[in-house]
Amino acid sequence: MKSVRSRSSSHYSHLVLLLCLMELELFHAAAEDIHTLTPGTVMNDFDYLWSPNELFRLKFFSVGESSNHYLGIEIIKFEKIVWVANRDNPFEDTSGVLNITEDGNLLLSNRHGIRITLNSESPAMSSNTSAILLDSGNLILKAGDQIVWQSSDHPSDTILSAMKLRLFAALNSRQPREHLLTSWISIAIAASGTFTLGVDPNKTNQLVIWLRGKLFWQSGNRNGHNFTYFPASGPFNDLESSNLKFSYISNGNGSYYTYSVPPNYISLFAINPTGEVHFFQGGNNKYSIWYLYCNAGEENGSKGCIDKKPSKCNSGYQFIQKYGYLESWEHLYNFSLALGDFKDMCINNCSCKAYGSLQTDGKGCRFSYDQILRYQNLRNLFTCATTAS
């Protein structure tokens, strides 16, 4: 009896497995691996546009349970999105397509009327264009050998080797005026968030992080390979032994930083939603991640941190993440703001005790001016370190 039952359940599980495999097969049949986008080819939601050695791919994605759907470039080695085409115009479903229009432009559109011409600032002069993704992570639209548009001129939150972090360009140049990195709102929402990273306009060999236009962090002077406020254990203080070549260029075309790495070596810098700079690097299947940031407890002026005003929080700038419950909250439903803004607002209000996001995807904000009473499961809640007990 027992054995019959177990056999039938094993038949059943075989059937389920078979159905799953069939579904995977169907799913797979629907997805296309594209290497070149030409007029007439359409990249649908489940398709990938691959770089020649499959180091990068262009794909449609959402993070977690977020309903925001984007087109972005993923670096395969770090499974990280490095560029987003429609960060401020997310799709809500999988109806997005990327194609080349009859007049040679790169068009991202969906069923609900969103139409984004990616190269709108530099329209194609030819209808015979094609788009490819390079192994450097750069998506280019080209007409013959001429590059019409490239994604590396429009960075999101990440700089890849050979990209430029630029301040300005000469007036007669068709190059964009600035290349700044702008953090996402939260890990799930790619919309422009709190922090930007770029070159200091007053002292163009210094890097700066702004919080909504306010100076937040500076790298300090660059001496040789080094920056004053880069951590001693970081990649820059060890440039000769590491493989990065970081260079500062200032000429008629502008001032910018760029860096290069040897072949087969992958690296990136990204500014995350809370203002930390992450550095990923990797040669043969090994990689490390470094962090550069303005630490919560840092004094004004130390480690490049700027204008740290005293806060009512007993431990100064130190907020710690808690699972907590607070008696009364004030809610703020501005979904263009991010955790970095909430922290800044809380620090600047002497009676603020805690802040957190309203929704698990990082949208919206709550503040409390209360003592913590008891705990419950609330994600993304940060409180003054010494207030909670």
Q: Does 183 bind ligand NAG (CB under 6 A)?
A: no
Residue (of 322, 292, 325, 341) closest to 382 by Cα position: 322
Distance CA 317, CA 297 (A): 5
Neighbours of 166 (CB within 10 A): 24
Which residues, other chains included, contact 62 with Cβ-Cβ below 8 Å and sequence gap of 6+? 68, 69, 70, 188
**Contact yes or no for 353/332 (Cβ under 8 A):** no
Site for ligand NAG in 358-387 (CB under 6 A): 369
Helices (H), the chain: 2-30, 339-347
Select the residue interacting with ligand NAG from 63, 134, 306, 388 (CB under 6 A): 306
Which residues, other chains included, contact 148 with Cβ-Cβ below 8 Å and sequence gap of 6+? 104, 119, 122, 123, 124, 125, 129, 140, 141, 142
Distance CA 192, CA 337 (A): 9
Select the residue interacting with ligand NAG from 103, 200, 276, 370 (CB under 6 A): 200
DSSP 8-state assignment for residue 276: P
Least distance from ligand NAG to the Cβ atom of residue 350, Å: 7
Distance CA 384, CA 367 (A): 12
Q: Which stretch binds ligand NAG (CB under 6 A): 67-75, 199-207, 358-366, 372-380?
A: 199-207
Largest CA distance in the chain: 86
Secondary structure percentages of the chain, helix, strand, coil, to 5? 10, 35, 50
Nearer to ligand NAG, 170 or 289 (CB): 170
Least distance from ligand NAG to the Cβ atom of residue 22, Å: 31
C-alpha distances in Å from residue 217, one per residue of 26, 178, 201: 50, 19, 14
Site for ligand NAG in 286-305 (CB under 6 A): 300-301
Nearer to ligand NAG, 35 or 309 (CB): 309
Nearer to ligand NAG, 304 or 324 (CB): 304
Distance CA 3, CA 49 (A): 50
Q: Does 351 bind ligand NAG (CB under 6 A)?
A: yes
**Contact yes or no for 162/244 (Cβ under 8 A):** no
Binding mask 34-73 for ligand NAG (x = CB under 6 A): -----xx---------------------------------
Q: Which stretch binds ligand NAG (CB under 6 A): 97-105, 287-295, 358-366, 370-378?
A: 97-105
Nearer to ligand NAG, 25 or 327 (CB): 327
Q: Does 171 bind ligand NAG (CB under 6 A)?
A: no
Site for ligand NAG in 218-257 (CB under 6 A): 224-226, 232, 237, 251-253
**Contact yes or no for 229/219 (Cβ under 8 A):** yes
Q: Which stretch binds ligand NAG (CB under 6 A): 20-28, 184-192, 269-277, 306-314?
A: 306-314
**Contact yes or no for 218/207 (Cβ under 8 A):** yes
> By rule CB under 6 A, what count of residues binds ligand NAG?
35
Distance CA 63, CA 87 (A): 13
Least distance from ligand NAG to the Cβ atom of residue 363, Å: 12
Nearer to ligand NAG, 39 or 176 (CB): 39
Least distance from ligand NAG to the Cβ atom of residue 16, Å: 38
Site for ligand NAG in 108-137 (CB under 6 A): 109, 128
Nearer to ligand NAG, 75 or 139 (CB): 139
Give residues in contact with ligand NAG (CB under 6 A).
39-40, 99, 101-102, 107, 109, 128, 144, 200-202, 208, 212, 215, 224-226, 232, 237, 251-253, 300-301, 306-307, 309, 330, 334, 336-337, 349, 351, 369
